[in-house]
Chains A and B, each alone.
Chain A
């Protein structure tokens, strides 16, 4: 049985919903996936990211386990936040905490929302492009039945962050989630997504986040990917920034054996989009980040800052495309990607791309690939620090520049700890 047939069998489990709009959304994706299957490296967008290991493994949708997860969930970043926990792709009411949620905020897991589908829910799913999808997005759409629904009323500032924790426990489990966010005009929200899993249980998590950030509203977003070392991870963000909408996002992609994160944003006039990200590929890890920013309106601003570290047999792949539509004058778009390549079996592939159809623009990108500064290593050694420790310190400092800017402090601390644990020579990682 080939992989398409294998997954086709599970499509039926989510079919037959009484909601016509949901079926309209799923059906085209389902057909496309059956027709084309998984993408291969002959496709430009997947040139550097083979899916062989993902295709070979046969994942099955995880069963719902009602017990409270065995994993300790008292991560620093969960403190002082609304907590939504998904265990193996299922909402865990026991582990979640939504106490004190103001009435201006509609926040529900999709499975519960579907039981009483109101206008909120349909509204969150409208305006979704169904004619074309980005390959694995089709796979996700054909199978999702869980996720987060967030709708914030106009001019409401939700200061307390919402932490969405995804925990993968079941071996060979397939977890499919789709989050839908709508930030109404003038409103503000702060979302923290965390993916964690067991090192010894391979699983596949696909998670799509669709966010509509309306006029003058803003969204802050932090994503920490720390899946288990044998896992596969695919996640995507589809962002619509309306006039003067603002988005600030940080991505730390540290875990999983194979990981791909896609961030696609459409910027309306005077919108601002700031993306920062960190990729760490060690062992045999494959870390792929793809961004595409469409500047559709005038005077929009975008900044992308990414850092990649590849060591051992890790491979870091980065593709970043900036597209400026005709008439999107006064666009200001900048992208910077810096990489550390630390071992002779590691690899970095980068494709920074500019596609510009307007003339009154300022666009630039810069890429560097290099090593640690040997003089800096020497300076530290001359102060009595061992070479290995010196390298660890410098590598950490390289990544930490981005982590310093994460908000709130609790998320910053969590990500810093996760990074220290994953860096080469992590035994030196203890804080003084």
Chain B
């Protein structure tokens, strides 16, 4: 299969398209982390005192915690004092509309393929773009306002809806949850805030675009989505970063709250810079994502396509508290070259008749390590709880690794659980069969890989599904030999 090897090599050497740097004047705090830095962040954002107090408490907790080491990851220790915790594009005054946003920024987003103006008109997707640390512009605000939906940057919500922030912030992922969640709580600079009131079906898909631009900065955003009774929202998240030789830290927290009969669908396409072939540079992605089905018949669905980052440490979870609530996790994690991904989910069944589904597809190529780590916990009293888990791994090349570490804890005798996992490579038979019908080795591999991921891709909203398939191609093409 030397012909395909060549093609694969071409693909491997394909450039990371979003890897450019935008030359912007930025207001950046000097590297280092201490109380002063946190006060400075809070002050720059002009936050009310309760936020500062919350941050400081989180910082205190963070100091007592140690970095988790249980994941199947191998990376150089992070020096938390060499990171700058705040970097914002310099603007004299807050922009009142898109026209006032720095044209250079708008240009950047155009390069990334998310022209805000066009999207406003054509795509019908409302985008909140987070550049380094601050939210740059939120499109479609007015149209959403009519529906009663609040979709704005986190720093704006702190001022306009402090009561909601106080009520819900940290109620799903408290700062004490884990090391990275505590760090995020202390220094988070911005993020998105979504509130869907009772009975409202959000008229369009909401979307956030994250981008790390400045060097030596970390990005710590925080997303909070609240769906009241009988409401529905679909939320998309995408990420990119420039190519740099140093590693950059991204430690985000996402909290979802679904009340009675509410449904939240959260989709992510993560394409942070993954480092070069030798593993230099790339984003360290340590993310805590958790959804809380507080109400009866609530539903939270996570869909993720993870193709980027040098290190991925991410376990979007669902707490199925409300009776009849549903949790779903669909994931495709691709790692190539020297990428390492340790990702999976947690499903905690508390309420009666709760249901969860986990479909995880891991693809490992080059010298990458890809780990599924998941937990299904069914507590006493979670009558008739039901879980179905399927984790499949595909190995491409002899030097990569694929690992599966599920944890199953069942304390309820009426619960039913099924768990399956398989690991295999693309079989010669499958390849031969396709080639026999006139497909090139390359096309055959791409077809088989896409088929492998189909169960997950079909869960993605249309515009993401297209992007995800293209990304998968870029990440893997040519890695079959």
Contacts and interface: CB of A to CB of B under 8 A. Distances in A.
Interface of A: 44, 48, 326-327, 329, 339, 341-371
Interface in B322-338: none
Nearest to A323: B403
Contacts of B423: 354, 356, 361-364
A361 B395 contact: yes
A186 to B, nearest CB: 33
Given A347-B410, A348-B409, A353-B406, 15 more contacts: A326-B399, A339-B410, A341-B413, A342-B413, A343-B413, A350-B419, A351-B406, A354-B393, A354-B402, A356-B423, A361-B395, A365-B420, A365-B421, A366-B421, A367-B419
Contact of B404 (A339, A361, A365): A365
21 contacts: A44-B70, A326-B399, A329-B398, A341-B412, A341-B413, A341-B415, A344-B412, A346-B411, A350-B407, A351-B405, A352-B404, A354-B404, A356-B403, A356-B423, A360-B398, A362-B424, A365-B420, A365-B421, A366-B420, A368-B417, A370-B417
Contacts of A327: 398
A359 B403 contact: no
Interface string B408-438: 1111111111111111110000000000000
B422 A363 contact: yes
Contacts of B418: 366-368
A374 to B, nearest CB: 11
B410 A369 contact: yes
Nearest 3 pairs of A and B residues by beta carbon: A359-B395, A367-B419, A350-B408
B262 to A, nearest CB: 29
A326, A343, A350, A354 interface centre (most CB from chain B within 10 Å): A354
A44, A349, A354, A359 interface centre (most CB from chain B within 10 Å): A359
Nearest to B383: A344
B238 interface: no
A369 B389 CA distance: 12
B319 interface: no
Given A346-B413, A348-B410, A355 B425 contact: no
Contacts of B419: 350, 352, 365-368
A359 B400 CA distance: 7
Contacts of B422: 363-364
Contacts of B399: 326
Contacts of A349: 407-410
A314 to B, nearest CB: 11
Interface string B364-403: 0000000000000000100000000000010111111111
B401 A356 contact: yes
Interface residues of B, number: 34
Given A327-B398, A359-B425, A361-B395, A367 B415 contact: no
B220 to A, nearest CB: 29
A104 B402 CA distance: 45
B410 A355 contact: no
Nearest to B419: A367
A78 B420 CA distance: 40
Nearest to A351: B407
Contacts of A344: 380, 412-413
Interface in B111-125: none
A360 B481 CA distance: 12
Given A364-B421, A365-B421, A369-B417, A351 B398 contact: no
B425 A360 contact: yes
A370 B413 CA distance: 7
Nearest to B402: A356
A367 B404 contact: no
A403 to B, nearest CB: 24
B368 to A, nearest CB: 12
Contacts of A342: 413
A225 B409 CA distance: 24
A357 B413 contact: no
A345 B381 CA distance: 10
Contacts of B396: 359
Interface string B304-341: 00000000000000000000000000000000000000
Nearest to B395: A359
Contacts of A348: 408-410
A314 B481 CA distance: 50
B351 to A, nearest CB: 16
A359 B397 contact: yes
B413 A355 contact: no
Nearest to B405: A353
Contacts of B400: 359
Contact of A352 (B393, B409, B410, B421): B421
Contacts of A367: 406, 408, 417-420
Nearest to A344: B413
Contacts of A357: 401
Given A360-B425, A362-B424, A355 B401 contact: yes
B196 to A, nearest CB: 36
B436 to A, nearest CB: 21
Nearest to B390: A366
Contacts of B403: 353-356
Nearest to B381: A344
A361 B402 CA distance: 11
Nearest to B409: A349
A347 B424 contact: no
B407 A363 contact: no
B417 A358 contact: no
Contacts of A339: 410
Given A44-B70, A341-B415, A368-B419, A361 B424 contact: yes
Contacts of A359: 395-398, 400, 425
B380, B393, B409 interface centre (most CB from chain A within 10 Å): B409
Nearest to B72: A355
A352 B406 contact: yes
Interface string B272-284: 0000000000000
Nearest to B415: A369
Nearest to B408: A350
B417 A347 contact: no
B462 to A, nearest CB: 33
A156 to B, nearest CB: 39
B405, B419, B423 interface centre (most CB from chain A within 10 Å): B423
A326 B415 contact: no
B480 to A, nearest CB: 10
Contact of B398 (A326, A346, A353): A326
A369 B416 contact: yes
Nearest to A349: B409
Contacts of B393: 354, 356
B20 to A, nearest CB: 34
Contacts of B416: 368-371
A363 B413 contact: no
B399 to A, nearest CB: 7
Contacts of A354: 393, 402-404, 421, 423
A352 B414 CA distance: 22
B475 to A, nearest CB: 17
Nearest to A348: B410
A425 to B, nearest CB: 16
Nearest to B401: A357
Nearest to A352: B406
A346 B414 CA distance: 11
Nearest to A331: B423
A329, A366, A369 interface centre (most CB from chain B within 10 Å): A369
Nearest to A335: B421
Contacts of B406: 350-353, 367
A44 B425 CA distance: 29
B421 A371 contact: no
A47 to B, nearest CB: 8
A369 B419 CA distance: 9
B413 A371 contact: yes
Nearest to A319: B407
Contacts of A48: 409
Contacts of B402: 354, 356
Contacts of A347: 409-411
